[in-house]
Every structure is written in C-alpha cells, then in structure tokens.
C-alpha cells in the first residue's frame, strides 16, 4: 500500500470519528442497532468499520453500509445486517 493511500485512509478515519461517534445507528424501518463507539481501520486492506455497541455487545459494520448521516446514522436496508448487529457478530 502506498504511503499516500495510507495517509488518505487515516485522514478519512479521523473525519469519520468526528462525524459518527456517539450517534445512534438505525435501519430504514426504524430499528435501532446501537450507538457508534469507535472507528476501526485496517490499513493493509484499506477497510474502515464503525463499532456499534448495543446492550453490552459490540459489532463492526463496514462504512459502505451507511446510507445517510444526520442526527443518526441510517444504514441501507439489509435484513441480514440487522440480525448480525443485534447478535453481536461482526461483519
């Protein structure tokens, strides 16, 4: 991975932390999945996840699943994702 790409990913992660930390994550049907507590990155694969905590369990959701961000983070409709996050599995 080039150094410029790594820097771009690190800058993106910092921006996402400012934008997403502490926001509720919901599905389009209104089901709440929890609150964003961290942003994780894997520089080698250029992947970024938001860590969502609900009922004491944490799950990782790829940022590619984000549909909109306002007062809450809305994800694209995907029934397997809502089950995954509620069960505490990681994506």
Domains, the chain, with CATH or none: 3-87 (2.30.30.240)
Instruction: Give the pLDDT confidence of 46-77 residue by residue, as tens digits.
Output: 899 999 999 999 999 999 999 999 999 999 98
Whole-number pLDDT of residue 25: 96
Q: Is the pTM of this model over 0.85?
A: no
**Mean per-residue pLDDT over the chain, rounded:** 85
Given a cut of 90, whether residue 14 has pLDDT beyond it is: yes
Instruction: Specify whether the CB–CB gap between 91 and 75 falls below 8 A.
Output: no
DSSP string, 28-68: TTS-EEEEEEEEEEETTTTEEEEEEEETTEEEEEEGGGEEE
Helix (H) or strand (E) holding 24, with range, is strand 24-26
Determine the average pLDDT of the residues in 10-29: 93
Q: Chain centroid to CA 27: how far?
A: 12
Residue 27's pLDDT band, with cuts at 50, 70 and 90, is very high
Residue 40 CA to residue 32 CA, distance in Å, equals 21
């Amino acid at each position: 991975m080039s150094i410029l790409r790594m820097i771009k990913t690190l800058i993106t992660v910092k921006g996402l932390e400012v934008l997403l930390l502490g926001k509720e994550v919901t599905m389009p049907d209104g089901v709440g999945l929890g609150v964003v507590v961290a942003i994780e990155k894997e520089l080698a694969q250029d992947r970024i996840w938001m860590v969502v905590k609900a009922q004491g369990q944490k799950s990782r959701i790829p940022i590619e699943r984000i549909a909109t961000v306002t007062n809450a983070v809305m994800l694209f409709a995907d029934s397997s994702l809502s089950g995954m996050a509620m069960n505490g599995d990681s994506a």
